[in-house]
Structure formats: C-alpha cells, structure tokens
Chains A and B, each alone.
Chain A
Amino acid sequence: MSKSLKQLQLWTKARVVLGHSGNSIRTQEILKFNYACSRARDAVHAVWNVNSTRMDLEAMGEQVIVVTSHVLSRTDYLKQPALGGRLSEESRVVLEKINKDYDVVFIVSDGLSAIAVEKHFLPLWSKIKERLLQTNLRLSPVVLAPFSRVALSDDVGFYLKAKVSVIIIGERPGLTASDSLGIYLTYGPKPGNLDCARNCISNIRTPDGLSSKLGAEKLNFLLTESLKREISGIALKEETIETLFISHNLPSK
C-alpha cells in the first residue's frame, strides 16, 4: 500500500504536511496561520453593537433591558474576570424595580467574541422562541449585558427572581472557529453559585459547529427538565441529548 504525504491532510484539519523552507514553515502557510490568528484576536477585541441587537430584538416584539457589569474596558474584562461576573449598582437598582417573578430570564453577552453574538445570536433566538411559544413559561425581558462573564447570570436571575437563568455568550476564539456561542443554564440563580451548578451547550455556530436548531433543542430539553426537577449542573445529565450531540459531531469524511 502506498500513500502520498498529501493524503494525511484528508484525515485531519490539523496543520500537517506543511512542507519546509530549511527548518522553517513556508511563507504561504505562515500567512494562512497569521490570518487565522488575526480573526481570533479581532473577535476578542471587536466591539459589540448592543443598540443594534436591541433594535433587532424589539423589531421581533421583545422587551429588552440593557445592563452593565463592573467592567469598563476590554482590558479590565480580560484581567479581572470577577468584575464581569457582577452587576453594576445602577443596573441592580433597575432590575430590583422590576421585581417580578419569572420562570426564565435570558441574558446575552459578547463575552470573548462579539462576532459570535453578532453573527449567530438572532438565528439562535428565533429557534429558541419557536420552542418557547409552545410553552406557558413566564419570560422576563431579554437582558443584554456587554462585558459579562457567565456568573453575571446569577446576579441578573437573582434580582429578577427567576427560577432559571440562561446566558448566551461569545466563547473564547480558537484558530478554527472565532465565532462560537455558548449557552449556560443555572437553576436557582444567586450570587456565588459554582460552575458545577450549570449546564453548558457549546460550539454553536454555522456551518461547522452545532446548528441553531440543535442548540435550541438541547436548551429546550435542559430547560424543561431543570424546571421540572428543580436542578441544574452535574445533577442534570441527559443521555438523549448527548446522543443527538455526538451524532451531529461525527466527522463528515
């Protein structure tokens, strides 16, 4: 059996068989790598147009609240994760005034990739709403929270007295994908919840990641089970959804 070197490239997306100039990587490959890096870095530092997302949501008939964390700049956000996990005083006052009991609150944040939110949030939201319309859940206004960490969903859910808090957030960009969304669900949101109390759905993006449709299906499953069993996190494991996820992620070749 004889295999040519180039065939290795069919077996993986890793950067194999790059050739070499002396001991070094060839120019065209360096440029490709730099381009992938530039997309990831631009995603981290891109600025989310919150107002545009707000208007899009309002056009879909949603009520929207914009809140702030303790973070004032991207540098703060990167250096001090804790600040992004806490609601600002002004926003807390705003939310306390609303003071209504909800089943679910949805929060949206740019997190580490504004590009992910701008590209994939609205399609995902449409799919989520399709499912929610079939339920009687009491939904809070959608909360837009720039410069936030996942833990902010505890503060927001707590002050809005929601049973479940769901945050949709831009994930840390890699070279293969810089525009993935993640969803984190927490039952009984309150300041100080541990990460093991949350369920996560990651890698939501088109075309290579988890589709909006499947993401919404997984969320719907978790949300229903979480409200029914009054739990979230490691206690809430779902084999049915896992199968769905694995079959979706099988390599296409």
Chain B
Amino acid sequence: MTYRWTLNQETFLFNDLKTLLAKATPERSSDSLAGISAVSERERVAAQYALADIPLNHFLNELVIPYESDEVTRLIIDSHDHASFAPIAHLTVGEFRDWLLSYEVTSEVLENIRNGITPEMVAAVSKLMRIQDLISVASKCRVITSFRSTIGLPGRFSTRLQPNHPTDDLKGILASILDGLMLGSGDAVIGINPASDNPTNILCLLNMLDELRMRFEIPTQSCILTHITTTLQLMENNAPIDLVFQSIAGSEKANAAFGVSLSLIKEAHAAVNSLNRGTVGHNTMYFETGQGSALSSNAHHGVDAQTMEARAYAVARQFKPLLVNSVVGFIGPEYLFNGKQIIRAGLEDHFCGKLLGLPMGCDVCYTNHADADQNDVDVLLTLLGVAGCNFIMGVPGADDIMLNYQSTSFHDALYIRALLGLRPAPEFEAWLIKMKLWDSSKNRLNDPGHILLTNGLSGFHGGLLNE
C-alpha cells in the first residue's frame, strides 16, 4: 500500500509500510547505511504524520516481512491475541501514543494489552515519541521474573556481574566476581562471555561458578554466554546450567546467521526447564539483542534497525525469559554513530521490550571508534534508572578487558541505586546483609567489605587460590 502526506504543498510518497517506518525513524547511521532513511528532515516529519494516521489494525494486514518466507513474522501473527487487542483496536498509531500517556492507562491496563500488540505497532508508536514519552510509558510497565532471585520488582534495580577475562583464566574471573559481589553486584546473573567456546573450557567455568554460589549460598544464577548448541551439549552431560543464553534477531534469516531457529531455542528451553534448578521462579532464558544485528547479516529485508529489534522481542517473549538485554552501543558507529543515537536507541529498546512484556535490561555501552564516552553512559544510565529498567551490566571499572569496549561499572549501579532509592533484588539484598556487605539502614555498602576473602575461600575449587 502507498502512503502520501502533503506539508505546505510539498507532497511525500512512501511505497509501503516498511519504507514509511524507516523514513519516520529519528536519524541513525544504521538506516543511512542501509539506504532507507529519510533524505530530508521534512521527509522524516511527513513520514511521522503519515504513520500517526495509520490504524493499528492495519499492521495485522500489511506485513513488513512476508508471512510465507519468515518464521518470525509467522510467530508474530499466529501468537497475536485478538481479545487483548480489542481495547486499542480502534486507535491509530498517533492516538495510541496519546492513549499510552493518558492517566487512565495504568500498569494493569498495559499488562492486559501486552499480547494484543505486535512489535511493529510498538516500533511505530515509539517513532512518534520523544525521550520523555519513552520514559513515562516504560516506567508504567512492570515486568517481574525470577529464578533464585526476583528481578523487576518496584523499587529494585539489578545488575549482571560481567567478570570477563581475555584467556578465561579462572583466578582472573574469580577476582572480578569477588570484587563485584563485595560492591553489591550480581543479583540479575553472574554472566561470563567466554573467550573460548571450547566445551571443556565452558564446563570449567560453570563448575567454578556453581561451587562459588553454593559455598556462599548466593541467591543468584550463573550463565556462560556461549552458543545455544554448546549449552545444549553441556546440559546433556549434566553440567550445572541455570540459564540458557542466546543472541537473537528479528528475522528468520538473521537468526540463521546466529546459527539458531525458533525450534532450536524451543528445544533448549525445554531442556533447561527440565533441570528445575530455580528456587523462587522458573524463568530460564537469557537473550541479548541490539539494533543493527539484522543489517549486519544482510537479513533486514529493507526494514529499519529499530523495527527489526522490536521483532527480536517477539522471539524472546515466546520463551518467558529471565533477562533480555539490549547491548545498545556494542556493534559500532556504523549502526549508532554517537552518544545521542545510542541514548535514544537504548530508551527505545527498553520501552518497546517492556511494552511487549519483557524483563528489559540494557548494556549501556560504546566502542572507542564511536563518538561517545562515559558521559553518554552516565546520561543513558540515569534515564534508564528513571524509566524503571530491570538491570544493567556490572563490569570492573566499566572496562571489559576481553570484549574491548566500555560499559557500566559496579560503582555506576551503586550510584543509580542511591540516587533513586532503589535496592537490589530482595533475596540478594538479604544475602548482602547476612554477609555484612550491606548496611540496610543506610542503603549503602559496609566499608570495607573483605568478608568474602577473609572467610570461606579455603580449599575453594580444588585449591585454586592456594599459592
């Protein structure tokens, strides 16, 4: 279907819905790289006018990627719940924005429409929203998940402890974990990006994490962020797997580039659920996403990066994940050029994911060839805290020495918790208090927090620490 909008006698034509979505998107380098962005600021606004005028139910008829050729599209359409959609079925995209912002639309109302909205509807409305809108509406969304800790409760803010090491050295990784725990980090997950995907190496890391968790009775979960097929293989060999990790994207072809399909994820999901290792809950998947991943594997089908990202959330929500993490500045300036683009994209992802019912966290980050620095990290971190983001990364000193990029530090999490009066996940907070690492009356660290080192590491992991 063709769309047309006239502004001051200048008429703009858009050939189809995906073109209109791309042209209505606030500027970012990924869409320019794909050659689908607006060619002038006037064209962008005309596209936003035209987009605002489209009825939401039209998104169920004009599909951005054909139903026949893409299993993600089939998932989106086949899982669409018409009853949940009914309260908003009469709205246009523009009216949907007003509806989302209205006083009457509360957390409960938003929860009730979750299964009636598609990623494309959410992406579309986000393109008409300013940063304060993205924050206002996201802060009304509540998505709570649990395994050994409960993540996403009101007044709580969690972190993934990310203790990476360039050679997966066990002592090196342990040093970063202990440092993070003593700074109150790790209540969402202790998650390692391994340098090597060798299954024996991964098993070593898993065993060490599990032993540490049990030795100190830490109410959290561990995860090695390796390919889903490696995790499947390890589960067959009875490795201590809490969560299954996988990177996902918004089209069948882009997922194929990651070496996954819906059926493969389903298989791993069933396998990890059967292990039944959760205590307070049973959300068992950890997904990572990021705008531009579909474009980087040439699997975007002419659809803009942000809409493709929202489609990845349709994949995620099928599996009731514990954590979904948008790694927003990781893949470089050809996708998000500067701090301004990274900040907006991070808030869009958080908004879209939350509205679709996902436990969104964000790796607030940048690479050194992007036009961004730690000041931009501070801005996005603060805005995400205000927006009610479920978790961020905790990296020693914000510097990941394996992946060579900068993210958020353990200290950054302390900053945002103190600033906004947020506390760690309740189970983890109780543990911090028990370990005398945390002063609950002041909601701050006890200083110094040596306790993990002075007590209880004797004989750990076959004498790893004996010298």
Q: Which residue of A lies closest to B172 (CB)?
A: A12
Q: B337, B418, B444, B454: which contacts A78 (Cβ < 8 A)?
A: B337
Q: Are B334 and A81 in contact, with the CB atoms below 8 A?
A: yes
Kindly provide the distance from the CB of B135 to the nearest chain A CB, expressed in whole angstroms.
22
Select the stretch in A36-44, A128-136, A217-225 that faces chain B: A36-44
CA distance in complex: A20, B418 (Å) = 14
Select the stretch in A52-60, A62-70, A139-147, A169-177 that faces chain B: A169-177
Kindly provide the distance from the CB of A201 to the nearest chain B CB, expressed in whole angstroms.
16
Q: Are B172 and A251 in contact, with the CB atoms below 8 A?
A: yes
Q: Are B179 and A16 in contact, with the CB atoms below 8 A?
A: yes
Q: Are B172 and A23 in contact, with the CB atoms below 8 A?
A: no
Q: Are B174 and A11 in contact, with the CB atoms below 8 A?
A: yes
Cβ of A3 within 8 Å of any chain B Cβ, yes or no, is: yes
CA distance in complex: A173, B332 (Å) = 12
Mark contacts of B443-467 with chain A using CB atoms, 8 A cut-off: 1 yes-contact digit, 0 otherwise.
0110110100110011000000110
Q: Which residue of A lies closest to B466 (CB)?
A: A1
Interface residues of A in 139-187 (CB under 8 A from B): 172-176, 178
Cβ of A241 within 8 Å of any chain B Cβ, yes or no, is: no
CA distance in complex: A220, B242 (Å) = 44
CA distance in complex: A78, B409 (Å) = 27
Q: Which of A16, A81, A250 has the most CB of B within 10 A?
A: A16
Cβ of A29 within 8 Å of any chain B Cβ, yes or no, is: yes
CA distance in complex: A247, B437 (Å) = 40
Interface residues of B in 411-461 (CB under 8 A from A): 411, 414-415, 417-418, 444-445, 447-448, 450, 453-454, 457-458
In the assembled complex, which residues on chain A have CB atoms less than 8 Å from the CB atom of B229? none
Cβ of B41 within 8 Å of any chain A Cβ, yes or no, is: no
Given contacts A3-B457, A78-B334, A172-B404, whether A14 and B367 have CB atoms under 8 Å apart is no
Q: Are B176 and A14 in contact, with the CB atoms below 8 A?
A: yes
Q: Are B179 and A174 in contact, with the CB atoms below 8 A?
A: no
Q: A5, A24, A25, A112: which contacts B453 (Cβ < 8 A)?
A: A5
- How many residues of A are in contact with the other chain, CB < 8 A? 44
Interface residues of A in 3-28 (CB under 8 A from B): 3-5, 7-9, 11-18, 20, 22-25
Given contacts A1-B457, A23-B415, A79-B333, whether A12 and B450 have CB atoms under 8 Å apart is no
Q: A9, A82, A250: which contacts B175 (Cβ < 8 A)?
A: A9
CA distance in complex: A20, B333 (Å) = 32
Given contacts A13-B401, A176-B401, whether A5 and B450 have CB atoms under 8 Å apart is yes
Cβ of B74 within 8 Å of any chain A Cβ, yes or no, is: no
CA distance in complex: A236, B411 (Å) = 45
Given contacts A16-B176, A78-B337, whether A4 and B453 have CB atoms under 8 Å apart is yes
Cβ of A80 within 8 Å of any chain B Cβ, yes or no, is: yes
Mark contacts of A66-100 with chain B using CB atoms, 8 A cut-off: 1 yes-contact digit, 0 otherwise.
00000000000011111000000000000000000
Q: B169, B369, B409: which contacts A44 (Cβ < 8 A)?
A: B369
Cβ of A51 within 8 Å of any chain B Cβ, yes or no, is: no
Q: B175, B333, B445, B457: which contacts A11 (Cβ < 8 A)?
A: B175
Q: Which of B169, B370, B397, B444 has the most CB of A within 10 A?
A: B397
Cβ of B12 within 8 Å of any chain A Cβ, yes or no, is: no
Cβ of B136 within 8 Å of any chain A Cβ, yes or no, is: no
Q: Are B405 and A1 in contact, with the CB atoms below 8 A?
A: no
CA distance in complex: A73, B132 (Å) = 35
CA distance in complex: A16, B396 (Å) = 5
Q: Are B453 and A174 in contact, with the CB atoms below 8 A?
A: no
Q: Which residue of B lies closest to A82 (CB)?
A: B33
Q: Are A1 and B399 in contact, with the CB atoms below 8 A?
A: no
Kindly provide the distance from the CB of B377 to the nearest chain A CB, expressed in whole angstroms.
11
In the assembled complex, which residues on chain B have CB atoms less than 8 Å from the CB atom of A11? 169, 171-172, 174-175
Q: Are B172 and A25 in contact, with the CB atoms below 8 A?
A: no
Q: Are A79 and B337 in contact, with the CB atoms below 8 A?
A: yes
Cβ of A2 within 8 Å of any chain B Cβ, yes or no, is: yes
In the assembled complex, which residues on chain A have CB atoms less than 8 Å from the CB atom of B179? 8, 14, 16-17
In the assembled complex, which residues on chain A have CB atoms less than 8 Å from the CB atom of B284? none
Cβ of B95 within 8 Å of any chain A Cβ, yes or no, is: no
CA distance in complex: A79, B29 (Å) = 6
Mark contacts of B96-110 with chain A using CB atoms, 8 A cut-off: 1 yes-contact digit, 0 otherwise.
000000000000000
Cβ of B373 within 8 Å of any chain A Cβ, yes or no, is: yes
Kindly provide the distance from the CB of B372 to the nearest chain A CB, expressed in whole angstroms.
10
In the assembled complex, which residues on chain B have CB atoms less than 8 Å from the CB atom of A29? 397
Q: Which of A2, A4, A12, A174 has the most CB of B within 10 A?
A: A12
Cβ of B167 within 8 Å of any chain A Cβ, yes or no, is: yes
Q: Are A1 and B406 in contact, with the CB atoms below 8 A?
A: no
Q: Which of B169, B174, B369, B457 has the most CB of A within 10 A?
A: B369
CA distance in complex: A55, B396 (Å) = 44
Cβ of A206 within 8 Å of any chain B Cβ, yes or no, is: no
In the assembled complex, which residues on chain B have CB atoms less than 8 Å from the CB atom of A49? none
In the assembled complex, which residues on chain B have CB atoms less than 8 Å from the CB atom of A4? 450, 453
Q: Which residue of B lies closest to A18 (CB)?
A: B397
Q: Are A24 and B415 in contact, with the CB atoms below 8 A?
A: yes
Can you give 8 A-B contacts (C-beta < 8 A)? A4-B453, A5-B448, A5-B453, A14-B179, A36-B399, A80-B33, A81-B334, A176-B401
Q: Which 6 A-B pairs have the closest CB atoms?
A: A15-B397, A174-B404, A12-B172, A23-B414, A40-B368, A16-B179
Write the residues of chain B forming the contact surface with A, with a CB cutoff of 8 angstroms: 29, 32-33, 163-165, 167, 169, 171-176, 178-179, 183, 332-334, 337, 367-370, 373-374, 395-399, 401, 404-406, 409, 411, 414-415, 417-418, 444-445, 447-448, 450, 453-454, 457-458, 465-466
Other CB < 8 Å A-B pairs besides A14-B176, A20-B447, 4 of them? A12-B169, A14-B396, A17-B179, A174-B404
